[in-house]
């Protein structure tokens, strides 16, 4: 693939391999799908007509799976969801064998979510078509970071120099990792905050400022991003109790007053109301961009599917 292309990557496996101009290129591409998605009736483009998109989600998902499915369908692709619970994976098939099987069906795009960090890369190495990482273990969730950047840029007009506080279970969150990498590349100042048990070691190497006090972390922040406690990835007791966690790290209307007056509140979902965020904050449309994040997710994923298949579709300048 020519290195002169604005997006010279075969796959979208993470934010780490991308440059700031490549990230901005994807955000710009997504902008044009926002209007199509808002059309009153027909929301369809046939850019991907005739192409087969397989969504293979080895881990549960609501919004990401639906979002990728809608994105593919709006672009005219034939979208198939692999039902992992009923698949040969449950009969002991290895990940590599599953990958080879999907490849033999001549998929044109594979969208993969897997509970193991690195599993999506393993599949990408074995197949012939573009692979999009829809979340792998605690590693990366690149389309979430892209849709978050798009939401922030649309609401704030820029990302550079914004103070962005990412709060909660940083340790188990692939969203936090991808967001930190992307927002730093785009020039934001990123603070992270959580109990010390939920802050990964050596995270300062990513250039973030670390806090253990929510009030201090959100003081003057332009964006406050709350994260769910990822209990499914916790082997032991990382927090004393949910009540205590909420008292110390839950976002309430009172605490939000410490942030910038025009603060934007974000959350990748699913929300645990009353734990990391109160309903009064999550549902206040003056601050909350949570549903807008979901909306931008579809446009962002349309952009990713479109850009990654341009070469195989022979799009002028990409083939
Ligand atoms: N939906 C996001 C993810 O898949 C965040 C979460 O589950 O809390 O990582």
Domains and CATH numbers, the chain: 11-141+295-313 (3.40.50.1370), 142-290 (3.40.50.1370)
Q: What is the mean pLDDT of the chain?
A: 95
- 34-43, 207-216, 281-290, 296-305: segment of lowest average pLDDT: 34-43
The alpha carbon of 188 and the centre of ligand 1 are apart by a number of angstroms equal to: 22
| Residue 3 pLDDT > 80 | no
The predicted pLDDT at position 186 comes to 98
The predicted pLDDT at position 88 comes to 72
Question: Per residue in 34-47, pLDDT tens?
Answer: 999 999 888 899 99
Other beta carbons within 10 angstroms of residue 122's beta carbon come to 16
The alpha carbon of 270 and the centre of ligand 1 are apart by a number of angstroms equal to: 7
Question: What is the maximum span of the chain, computed from C-alpha positions, in angstroms?
Answer: 58
| Residue 221 pLDDT > 80 | yes
Q: Using alpha carbons only, what angle is made at residue 309 by residues 303 and 311, rounded to the nearest 5 degrees?
A: 125
Identify the CA nearest to 111 among candidates 125, 101, 123: 123
Residue 166 phi/psi, 5° resolution? -105, 120
| Residue 233 pLDDT > 90 | no
The predicted pLDDT at position 93 comes to 80
Highest mean pLDDT among 47-56, 79-88, 99-108: 47-56
The alpha carbon of 176 and the centre of ligand 1 are apart by a number of angstroms equal to: 10
Q: Is the CB of 141 under 6 A from ligand 1?
A: yes
The alpha carbon of 113 and the centre of ligand 1 are apart by a number of angstroms equal to: 11
> What is the DSSP code (8-state) at residue 113?
E
| Residue 215 pLDDT > 70 | yes
Q: Is the CB of 246 under 6 A from ligand 1?
A: no
Q: Is the CB of 267 under 6 A from ligand 1?
A: no
Q: Whose CA is nearest to atom 4 of ligand 1?
A: 135
Using most ligand atoms within 8 A of CB, pick from 169, 270, 290, 293 the residue to mutate for ligand 1: 270
Q: Is the CB of 233 under 6 A from ligand 1?
A: no
Alpha-helix residue ranges (DSSP H) falling in the chain: 20-37, 63-74, 95-104, 119-124, 142-156, 174-185, 214-218, 242-249, 253-256, 279-282, 290-308, 310-313
pLDDT band at 237 (very low <50, low <70, confident <90, very high): confident
Question: Per residue in 150-184, pLDDT tens?
Answer: 999 999 999 999 999 999 999 999 999 999 999 99
Q: Is the CB of 135 under 6 A from ligand 1?
A: yes
Contact 194, 249 (CB under 8 A): yes
| Residue 225 pLDDT > 80 | yes
The alpha carbon of 318 and the centre of ligand 1 are apart by a number of angstroms equal to: 33
The predicted pLDDT at position 223 comes to 98
Q: Span 106-123, mean pLDDT?
A: 95
Q: Is the CB of 200 under 6 A from ligand 1?
A: no
- 95-99, 144-148, 190-194, 297-301: segment of lowest average pLDDT: 95-99
The predicted pLDDT at position 50 comes to 97
Q: For residue 141, which atom of ligand 1 is closest to its CA?
A: 9
Q: For residue 173, which atom of ligand 1 is closest to its CA?
A: 9
| Residue 77 pLDDT > 70 | yes
The annotated binding site for L-aspartate is made up of: 91, 174, 228
Q: Is the CB of 228 under 6 A from ligand 1?
A: yes
The predicted pLDDT at position 91 comes to 73
The alpha carbon of 227 and the centre of ligand 1 are apart by a number of angstroms equal to: 8
| Residue 9 pLDDT > 90 | yes
| Residue 232 pLDDT > 90 | no
The predicted pLDDT at position 148 comes to 99
- Any bridge partners for residue 109, and if so which? 53
Pairing of strands 163-167, 78-82: unpaired
The alpha carbon of 42 and the centre of ligand 1 are apart by a number of angstroms equal to: 30
Q: Is the CB of 265 under 6 A from ligand 1?
A: no
| Residue 208 pLDDT > 90 | yes
Question: Per residue in 120-138, pLDDT tens?
Answer: 999 999 999 999 999 999 9
> Would you give the distance in Å from CA 270 to the centre of its chain?
12
| Residue 86 pLDDT > 70 | no
Q: Is the CB of 147 under 6 A from ligand 1?
A: no
The answer to pTM > 0.85 is: yes
pLDDT band at 89 (very low <50, low <70, confident <90, very high): confident
Non-local CB neighbours of 201 within 8 Å, separated by 6+ positions? none
Integer Cα distance of 193 and 276 in angstroms: 12
Q: For residue 228, which atom of ligand 1 is closest to its CA?
A: 8
Q: Is the CB of 142 under 6 A from ligand 1?
A: no
Q: How far is CA 301 from CA 42, 68, 191, in A?
A: 18, 6, 27
């Amino acid at each position: 693939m020519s290195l002169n292309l604005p997006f010279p990557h075969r796959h979208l496996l993470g934010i780490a391999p991308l440059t700031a101009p490549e990230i901005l290129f994807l955000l710009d591409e997504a902008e044009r799908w926002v209007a199509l998605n808002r059309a009153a009736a027909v929301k369809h483009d046939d850019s991907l007509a005739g192409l087969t998109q397989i969504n293979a989600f080895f881990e549960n998902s609501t919004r990401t799976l639906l979002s990728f499915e809608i994105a593919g369908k709006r672009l005219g692709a034939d979208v198939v969801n692999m039902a992992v619970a009923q698949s040969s994976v449950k009969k002991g098939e290895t990940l590599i064998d599953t990958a080879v099987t999907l490849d033999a069906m001549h998929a044109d795009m594979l969208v993969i979510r897997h509970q193991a960090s690195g599993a999506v890369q393993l599949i990408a190495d074995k197949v012939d078509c573009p692979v999009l990482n829809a979340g792998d273990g605690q590693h990366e969730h690149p389309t979430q970071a892209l849709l978050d950047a798009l939401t922030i840029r649309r609401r704030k007009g820029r990302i550079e120099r914004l103070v962005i506080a990412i709060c909660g279970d940083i340790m188990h969150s692939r969203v936090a990792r991808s967001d930190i990498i992307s927002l730093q590349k785009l020039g934001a100042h990123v603070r992270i905050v959580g109990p010390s048990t939920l802050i990964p070691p050596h995270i300062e190497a990513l250039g973030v400022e670390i806090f253990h006090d929510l009030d201090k972390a959100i003081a003057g922040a332009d964006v406050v991003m709350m994260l769910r406690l990822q209990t499914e990835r916790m082997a032991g007791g990382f927090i004393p109790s949910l009540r205590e966690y909420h008292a110390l790290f839950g976002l309430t209307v009172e605490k939000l007053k410490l942030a910038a007056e025009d603060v934007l509140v974000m959350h990748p979902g699913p929300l645990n109301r009353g734990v990391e965020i109160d309903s009064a904050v999550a549902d206040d449309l003056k601050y909350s961009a949570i549903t807008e994040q979901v909306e931008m997710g579809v446009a962002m994923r349309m952009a990713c599917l479109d850009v990654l298949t341009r070469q195989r579709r022979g799009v002028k300048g990409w083939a």
